[in-house]
């Protein structure tokens, strides 16, 4: 997802990784909050075609040289973006607003 604009969340990234497909994305908006840990190595600066080509070339044949990358991508989504975690996060924000508003 080589976006030039700051995506607020990057749902397409979550959907791809949840399906076991690795993602290359731009380091902009909310995308870096999704692509954390080891997945940060698959982020590129927006508009940097050379960096994008380099990272794409590195993971193009991921099934051969890093066969667990798809599984790790899926596990990342399941661990970081489960329904329970998302609801807890929203609830925390709402409680802060209610208690301080």
Asked whether residue 76 is assigned to any structural domain, the reply reads: yes
Q: What pLDDT, on a 0 to 100 scale, did the predictor assign at position 101?
A: 62
- Domains of the chain: total: 1
Asked whether residue 1 is assigned to any structural domain, the reply reads: no
Asked whether residue 44 is assigned to any structural domain, the reply reads: yes
Domain carrying residue 90 = 11-100
Q: What pLDDT, on a 0 to 100 scale, did the predictor assign at position 60?
A: 95
Beta bridge partners of 7: none
Tokens 């994008």 sit at which residue? 52
Angstrom CA distances, 87 to 30, 81, 92, 94, stand at 18, 10, 9, 10
Tokens 């982020």 sit at which residue? 43
The H or E element containing residue 62 is helix 62-65
Asked whether residue 34 is assigned to any structural domain, the reply reads: yes
Q: What pLDDT, on a 0 to 100 scale, did the predictor assign at position 32?
A: 95
10-residue mean pLDDT profile of the chain (101 residues): values are 88 94 95 94 97 96 96 95 85 90 62
Q: What pLDDT, on a 0 to 100 scale, did the predictor assign at position 9?
A: 84
Q: What pLDDT, on a 0 to 100 scale, did the predictor assign at position 85?
A: 83
Determine the distance from the C-alpha atom of residue 1 to the mean position of all C-alpha atoms in its chain, rounded to a whole number. Answer: 10
Q: What pLDDT, on a 0 to 100 scale, did the predictor assign at position 23?
A: 97
Q: Is 44 helix (H, G, I), strand (E, B) or coil?
A: strand
Asked whether residue 22 is assigned to any structural domain, the reply reads: yes
* Cα(97)–Cα(27) distance, integer angstroms: 29
């Amino acid at each position: 997802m080589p976006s030039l604009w700051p995506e607020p969340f990057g749902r397409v990234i979550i959907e791809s990784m949840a399906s076991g497909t690795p993602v290359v994305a731009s380091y902009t908006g909310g995308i870096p909050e999704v692509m954390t840990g080891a997945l940060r190595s698959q982020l590129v600066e927006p508009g940097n075609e050379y960096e994008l080509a380099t990272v794409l070339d590195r993971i193009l044949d991921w099934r051969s040289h890093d066969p667990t990358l798809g599984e790790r991508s899926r596990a990342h989504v399941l661990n970081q973006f489960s329904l329970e975690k998302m609801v807890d996060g929203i609830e925390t924000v709402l409680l802060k607003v209610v208690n301080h508003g």
